[in-house]
Amino acid sequence: MKLSLSLAAAATMVAALGVSASAQETPAASPAVEPGCELHVFPSLEGKAMTTGWLSGFGVIGAVADAAKNKNRNISEAEYLKEALGPRLQVQALKGIDLPAQLKLPPSKVVYETAIADRNITTKAATRLSSSTAPCYAELIVTQNFYTKKAIYGRSLNNRFVFKDFRTGKDKATLVKGRGGNGLSAFPPKTTDETEAAETDLRSAFAKNFVEFAKGVTPAK
């Protein structure tokens, strides 16, 4: 009940934020000058959750017991993660960051695209995923949203990203893949009163994960 209440609260909050997909453009540089470069961002539809306890340390039998014990929790937390960090909220979190600067790109127009469901496309396709023909063009794709709770390490959010830099002028770009993982202190919420704090915690971890990933990105040569 608590969880369903918090889901409803999350949905209300999500609706209030009002972010729309595809062709959502955010000039990251000075608004007076339209940047010549484009960064297209694809959020993820994914939401996975996995809680494992001490039992998993006792071999297969323990793991079976653990999987059975945490079954409902894994389902509800995966569903909650999809709500609380769905594409709209990922975009909301990324809007708080200067994405081109983090990715070492020149000032760019940031275009938020519709999420792509097929992992074979997001993790393998080397060509552009939008119809833009801008010569100065790059893509950032979120490919994983994974909440884990482990007996030893506690709660964390892990994200995987793919960055494609087309500024070399080639039709195909190298896929720079990487991840970021940060601990969570308030997510998932135990009561509805904690919903806001939990979701702020989640989005903050998501933003940190991106920054962590971006540190390892080097411009294409």
Partner 1 sequence: MKKLIGLCIVVALLSTGAPVAAKKEADVKAPPVLAEADRATPDGRLVLSNLYQREIETSVFVDPVARTPYGGTGWYGGWGWIRGIENNNQDVIAARLVAAAERNAVPVRTALSDFDTDTLALATTKAALAKPDWFQARGVTGSSDVFAISKADFLAQNAAAQIAFVRYRYDLSPDFTQIRVLAMLSIERQQLGKDGKPAGQPVAIYRQNIMSIAQMRAPSYEARDNAKRWAADNGKLAKAALTAAFGQFERLIPFALGLSQAQLTAFNDKNSTKAFAGGYYGTLVARDADQPDAVLIWKNGLVHVQPVG
Residue 188 near partner 1 by CB under 8 A? no
In the complex, minimum distance from the CB of residue 54 to partner 1, in angstroms, rounded to a whole number: 14
Residue 214 near partner 1 by CB under 8 A? no
* Structure tokens, 112: 């938020």
Residue 19 near partner 1 by CB under 8 A? yes
Which residues are bridge partners to 148 per DSSP?
Answer: 50, 156
- Give the x-and-dash track for 123-152 against partner 1 (CB under 8 A): --x-xxxxx--------------x-x----
Cα–Cα distance, 143 to 162 (Å, whole number): 7
The angle formed by the CA atoms of residues 197, 201 and 204, to the nearest 5 degrees, is 135
In the complex, minimum distance from the CB of residue 205 to partner 1, in angstroms, rounded to a whole number: 17
Site for partner 1 in 55-84 (CB under 8 A): 56, 60-61, 63-64, 66-68, 71, 74-75, 78-79
In the complex, minimum distance from the CB of residue 72 to partner 1, in angstroms, rounded to a whole number: 9
Question: Which one, of 140, 149, 151, lies nearest residue 178 by Cα?
Answer: 140
Angle formed by the axes of helices 2-17 and 195-215, to 10°? 60
Site for partner 1 in 157-186 (CB under 8 A): 171
- Considering only residues 5, 121, 151, 211, which one is a binding residue for partner 1 as defined by CB under 8 A? 121
Helix (H, G, I), strand (E, B) or coil at 55: helix
DSSP letter, residue 104: T
DSSP letter, residue 52: -
Let me know: does 114 contact 104? Beta carbons within 8 Å: no
Residues that bind partner 1 (CB under 8 A): 14-15, 19-24, 43, 45-50, 52, 56, 60-61, 63-64, 66-68, 71, 74-75, 78-79, 86-88, 91, 114-118, 120-121, 125, 127-131, 146, 148, 171
